[in-house]
Amino acid sequence: MLSNSWKRIKSLSCRSHCPTCKSTIKPTDFEPGRNNADEEMDPVDRVLENIVGSHGFWQWFILLIGVIGLPTYEMFSVFGLSEQAYRCRMPDPVESILHNLSVNEAMTILWGMNASDRAQYHMDYPTRCYHRLADLVQMTHSNETNWTDWTPDQLFKLAVGQPVPCDNGYVYEPIPNQYPTSVIASFDLTCDRSWLGPLHPTMFMIGMLFGYYLGGWSGDRFGRRPTVLFWFFIFVAAGLLAFFSPNVAFLFLAHLVLGAADSARITVLFVQMFEMTTARWRSVMCSVWTVLQSFGTRAFTSLLAYLLPDWRWLMFAMTAVGSIGVLYICFGPESPRWLVSEGRTDEAVQVLERGYQYNHCCRRSPEGIFTKSDVLALKQMYPMHPVNDEQGNDELSGCGSRLCYVIKSSSIWQMFQSPEHVKRLLLASVIFTCHIYSYYGIMLYGNKIRGVVYVVAVINAASALPGTMMSCILYRVFRWRKRPLLGVFSLAFLSTFTGALCSLTQNHETDLLLIITEGITLTSLEAALDMIYIYIPELFPTMFRSKSLGFCAGCARIGAALCSYTNELDSRLGHGSPMAFYAASILVAILVVLVLPDTSGENLDQCPEQQNEMADF
């Protein structure tokens, strides 16, 4: 049976899809009674479906290694940047009097007035950055006072005059139900240094921006496996740097590199998983990936945070768990589709044979199934755009000419030579940006809800479960990608718009309706994320797929960097106003999806003429 399946695959090449070649195909080239769905598959999909296996142990094991090796470092900001109560640190004699008081009680002593009276002062920074015991500080320097008999009431009476900034740093106190330690407390990121706190997640997002571009380019240029391994070692080194960071500059540098390593591997691993299975199983594997990545790893990070109350050890634990991804060195294959596109037929055969063994309980593939002559038929689906001999000899005759040729054939600007490709890149980037802007913005906006931080984090992560199930069902029921995506985006827009409208027009003591609409929106956007990661790569040919996905996903980091500023409008424009911005962003994504063509996941590279039209060399 395997031999017959391979013969059927071998008999059909790119000529069956190319209009200019259809006339040369004889009726005998097709076996009678062939299944229509099988005819519509490209040769690589048929090899995976009929011989290797499209959803066996091979595919699932690579998916699992990829997820384990990708810690959700964006969750670190939820715990490691938790807010803490703080006040000015006073000289040691005064601290010996205040050490039994809470921060709020000590603030009353340091100011000589309660919180409502302190609110009347308008200063550059919060009142916690000042005190009114300047005279008392001078007394401590004189060493002429016996402080052993002093009480807080006596200090209260000395709090007079104008507020002065803190000179000796700050005393911090954990807020109930929040993570007990914080980067903010470790490096005094308060008052005049408070702008450095929000910069922490921004640096991670900027790193992801570069990582998507570098990962996409290197994945297409050097292959999926070398790119994953390179960024894996970068990730381990950056994680250790974050753990041992002596100051905030090293911590920000580490998270910048972590963001790049994280997104570079996500891009390549997702494309590799995409290329190791067939169209009808991509949505299922994408859904499983999302459940494990969005819910599993985020919930596990919350568990680690609960067990490890120190942010440094939390960072170390996340890096240590991610280091399990070292198994990819032994078991991670190169993408056979990429190898075929590069003309490396023998290596593609070896990868497919190993995949066959993994999926068939370590059995060797029958003799003669995977031969070079067989895979040559697949090679026609991914032409290398050869030049004629005379032109090639002229172009590559000198060292300088060869260098120019390499740069021209491998540089990222290659993607921008086709107007159609540029159009799809820009539109897909807008979709990614609008989606990520809304998704992360609404998730961070939900953190304003009071509650135990670990529980809130798990609830936010749990939106991945119904969202993933929704995307899986829709892409299993509907053959085409575009219409289900439009439906999910429309649901997200309606729920977000409803939440914004009700919050801005009605004042309630609780945000019950806003909580409900946020949950519906996050679920819908989670489903949309799965669909986008399937739909967008199918818009591009294999030779540019990883690079194009990296470019589009990288642009989305711009939206992620802006959402924190959008949430600040809640106190200026009214409660719920950020939701209006997110609703508008989702509406823009809907309009852009309408402009792009539809795909079905089949015949991703139909013939040389279509690839040349996209590449336009």
Q: pLDDT for 152-172, tens place per residue?
A: 777 787 777 788 888 888 889
The mean pLDDT value of the chain amounts to 76
Residue with tokens 């939701």: 579
Phi and psi of 174, rounded to 5°? -60, 145
| Burial call 294-315: b when 16+ CB within 10 Å, e when fewer | bbbbbbbbbebbbebeebbebb
**Beta-carbon count within 10 A of 2 CB:** 13
pLDDT score, position 365: 58
Give the domain range for residue 464: 414-600
- For residue 563, being part of any structural domain is answered with yes
Q: Are residues 572 and 442 in the same domain?
A: yes
CA angle 519, 520, 523 (to 5 degrees): 85
pLDDT score, position 43: 66
pLDDT score, position 601: 63
Contact 44, 14 (CB under 8 A): no
Q: Are residues 365 and 459 in the same domain?
A: no
pLDDT in tens, 239-265: 999 999 999 999 999 999 999 998 888
Q: Are residues 338 and 249 in the same domain?
A: yes
Q: Are strands 130-131 and 84-88 parallel, antiparallel or unpaired?
A: unpaired
Counting the structural domains of the chain, the total is: 3
Nearest to 473 by CA among 283, 286, 293, 294: 283
Q: Are residues 462 and 541 in the same domain?
A: yes
- For residue 27, being part of any structural domain is answered with no
pLDDT score, position 605: 53
Q: Are residues 235 and 337 in the same domain?
A: yes
pLDDT score, position 451: 66
Q: What parts of the chain have a pLDDT lower than 50?
A: 1-35, 373, 383-397, 399, 402-403, 405-408, 410-411, 606-617
Whole-angstrom Cα distance, residue 91 to residue 207? 41
pLDDT score, position 311: 92
pLDDT score, position 252: 92
Residues in the chain: 617
| Burial call 7-31: b when 16+ CB within 10 Å, e when fewer | ebbbbbbbbbbbeeeeeeeeeeeee
- For residue 617, being part of any structural domain is answered with no
Contact 211, 264 (CB under 8 A): yes
Phi and psi of 84, rounded to 5°? -135, 150
Q: Are residues 108 and 224 in the same domain?
A: no
Instruction: Please classify residue 393 by burial: count the beta carbons closer than 10 Å to its beta carbon, then call 0-12 exposed, 13-18 middle and 19+ buried.
Output: exposed
Contact 47, 5 (CB under 8 A): no
pLDDT score, position 616: 46
Question: In Å, what is the CA distance from 92 to each residue of 141, 168, 174?
Answer: 11, 10, 21
- For residue 5, being part of any structural domain is answered with no
Q: Are residues 243 and 371 in the same domain?
A: yes
Cα dihedral sign for 391, 392, 397, 403?
A: positive
- For residue 42, being part of any structural domain is answered with no
Boundary residue ending a domain (362, 379, 396): 379
Q: Are residues 108 and 148 in the same domain?
A: yes
- For residue 44, being part of any structural domain is answered with no
Start-to-end Cα distance in the chain: 41
Q: Are residues 594 and 510 in the same domain?
A: yes
Q: Are residues 575 and 543 in the same domain?
A: yes
- For residue 198, being part of any structural domain is answered with no
pLDDT score, position 490: 94
Q: Are residues 165 and 231 in the same domain?
A: no
Nearest to 535 by CA among 552, 518, 515: 552
- CATH number of the domain at 461, please: 1.20.1250.20
Q: Are residues 115 and 159 in the same domain?
A: yes
